[in-house]
């Protein structure tokens, strides 16, 4: 292909692009595609219900399977405490019964001295009884069982608190994802508005002959990129809303409330490292590990109970006869029994020794887990405090960067309209503004997540600095 042919093709493409640009500038810019649909129904409802972070956390802690399971474990352990106390009381049982034997009528005929006699038909035979059994001594096993059950209740309670804060962290991250997606959508709309405005300026300059055709092409590309950015932001927002809806267990689509976009002020969070360290040392994860160690210690003491004898006692009384459970005038005989027993296994195949070893191992593991939980709390405290401080500083820097990029774009647009700069300078400023806004959104998201992680670590919300 010759140089002249290439030049002709290039001129033709430029002319076609210019025609398309003028047609687009004469009309309203093409709208951004609507939400995707399936069978005519929207894939995600556009009218999502706004919800605050506190409400989202509350609903998630009520509906999350992990939270429900944690509450169920606590209820089961509380029932185990009642059962352990009940083991100190005697077992009581009563029984009532009645029986009648059916026989052939011919078998009830008896011949006595040549005289045939008819025997009476069988009657009902009744019985009743009362039985009491109690363990008087079992090496303290019953008392240890109560201690273990109480420790397990404390552990399950701490586990529930830790799970609630983990759910709160997960919800907060997803909530902040939705906020970041909305902020990205707002930034993309601003980017599209600027690109459309610049396209009108470029169109006017091209028609007046003071701008080149490349300006029109670049303006078209900038509008297309802005529309694509808006579509991407809307897709991310719908996905974030769907994830937030699932995590809180809502039947209708919800979205992050716009009021939470700026509240609370992240740069006003109090970060007293000494106070946070004390809170982290008693955070949900540490309390859970400490309760698990208490339960392991009680189980270790209980493992030595089989080395002592077991003493049991029992009493039973019952009667039987033809009277209806002894209430009639027919004869009814009663008998009673008192039982005392002592048992001691001299050798049971080293089962007691195995139980002691397993209890010792479980206690060592629980102690190691507690030590690691405390060290992990210190590590995460240092990391999250530094991340939050860094994110707060980035917020300040990026906010200034956005203001500077906006001012630079304003100056470049004025210079371009006056013919003192090129469209490329304007587009470069627009891209810098878009990057600054994206960096600001990311810094705000990182600060929010760092704060949520710190709150989950210490087990309470961070308070703003007092004015």
Q: Which pair of structure tokens corresponds to residue 316?
A: 């039973």
DSSP string for residues in 397-448: HHHHHHHHHHHHHHHHHHHHHTTSS-HHHHHHHHHHHHHHHHHHHHHHHHHH
Comparison of pLDDT for 113 and 262, the residue scoring more:
113
Predicted confidence (pLDDT) per residue in 313-365, tens digit? 999 998 888 766 666 666 778 889 999 999 998 888 899 999 999 999 999 99
- Return d(Cα 320, Cα 335) in angstroms, integer: 9
Given this model, what pLDDT does residue 106 score?
A: 60
> Which residues, including other chains, have CB under 8 Å from residue 310's CB and lie 6 or more apart?
135, 137, 138, 139, 342, 343, 344
Distance CA 219, CA 421 (A): 15
When the pLDDT of each residue in the chain is averaged and rounded to a whole number, the result is: 80
Whether the pTM exceeds 0.75: the reply is no
Residues 6+ apart with CB under 8 A from 418: none
Provide mean pLDDT across the span 234-254: 92
Q: Residue range 127-154: average pLDDT?
A: 90
What are the pLDDT digits (tens) for 217-235? 777 888 888 899 899 999 9
Name the residue with higher pLDDT: 380 or 33. Answer: 380
Collapse the DSSP code of 341 into the 3-class scheme (helix H, G, I; strand E, B; otherwise coil) and give the result.
Answer: strand
Domains of the chain as residue ranges with CATH: 18-23+44-98+138-310+350-458 (1.20.1600.10)
Does residue 12 surpass a pLDDT of 60? no
């Amino acid at each position: 292909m010759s140089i002249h042919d290439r030049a002709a093709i290039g001129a033709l493409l430029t002319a076609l692009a210019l025609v398309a640009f003028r047609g687009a500038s004469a009309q309203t810019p093409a709208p951004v595609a609507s939400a995707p649909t399936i069978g005519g129904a929207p894939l995600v409802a556009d009218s999502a219900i706004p919800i605050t972070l506190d409400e989202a956390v509350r609903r998630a802690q009520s509906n999350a399977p992990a939270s429900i399971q944690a509450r169920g474990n606590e209820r089961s352990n509380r029932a185990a405490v009642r059962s352990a106390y009940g083991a100190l009381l005697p077992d009581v049982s009563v029984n009532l019964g009645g029986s009648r034997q059916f026989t052939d009528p011919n078998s009830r005929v008896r011949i006595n001295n040549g005289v045939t006699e008819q025997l009476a038909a069988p009657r009902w035979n009744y019985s009743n009884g009362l039985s009491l059994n109690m363990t008087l001594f079992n090496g303290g096993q019953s008392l240890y069982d109560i201690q273990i059950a109480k420790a397990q209740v404390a552990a399950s309670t701490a586990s529930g608190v830790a799970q609630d804060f983990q759910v709160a962290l997960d919800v907060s991250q997803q909530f902040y994802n939705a906020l970041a997606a909305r902020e990205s959508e707002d930034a993309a709309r601003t980017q599209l508005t600027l690109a459309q405005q610049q396209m009108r300026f470029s169109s006017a300059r091209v028609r007046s002959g003071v701008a080149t055709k490349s300006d029109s092409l670049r303006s078209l590309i900038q509008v297309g990129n802005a529309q694509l950015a808006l579509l991407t932001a809307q897709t991310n927002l719908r996905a974030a809303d769907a994830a937030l809806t699932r995590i809180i267990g809502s039947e209708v689509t919800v979205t992050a409330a716009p009021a939470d976009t700026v509240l609370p002020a992240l740069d006003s969070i109090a970060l007293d490292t000494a106070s946070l360290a004390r809170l982290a040392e008693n955070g949900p994860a540490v309390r859970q590990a400490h309760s698990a160690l208490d339960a392991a210690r009680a189980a270790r003491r209980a493992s030595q109970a089989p080395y002592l004898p077991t003493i049991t006692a029992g009493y039973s009384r019952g009667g039987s006869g033809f009277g209806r459970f002894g209430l009639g005038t027919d004869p009814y005989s009663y008998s009673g029994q008192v039982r005392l027993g002592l048992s001691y296994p001299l050798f049971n195949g080293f089962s007691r020794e195995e139980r002691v070893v397993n209890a010792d191992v479980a206690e060592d593991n629980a102690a190691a887990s507690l030590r690691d939980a405390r060290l992990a709390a210190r590590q995460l405290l240092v990391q999250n405090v530094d991340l939050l401080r860094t994110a707060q500083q980035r917020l300040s820097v990026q906010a200034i960067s956005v203001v500077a990029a906006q001012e630079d774009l304003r100056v470049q647009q004025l210079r371009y309209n006056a013919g003192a700069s090129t469209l490329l300078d304007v587009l470069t400023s627009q891209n810098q503004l878009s990057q600054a806004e994206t960096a600001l959104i990311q810094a705000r998201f990182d600060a929010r997540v760092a704060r949520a992680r710190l709150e989950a670590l210490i087990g309470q919300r961070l308070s703003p600095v007092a004015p």
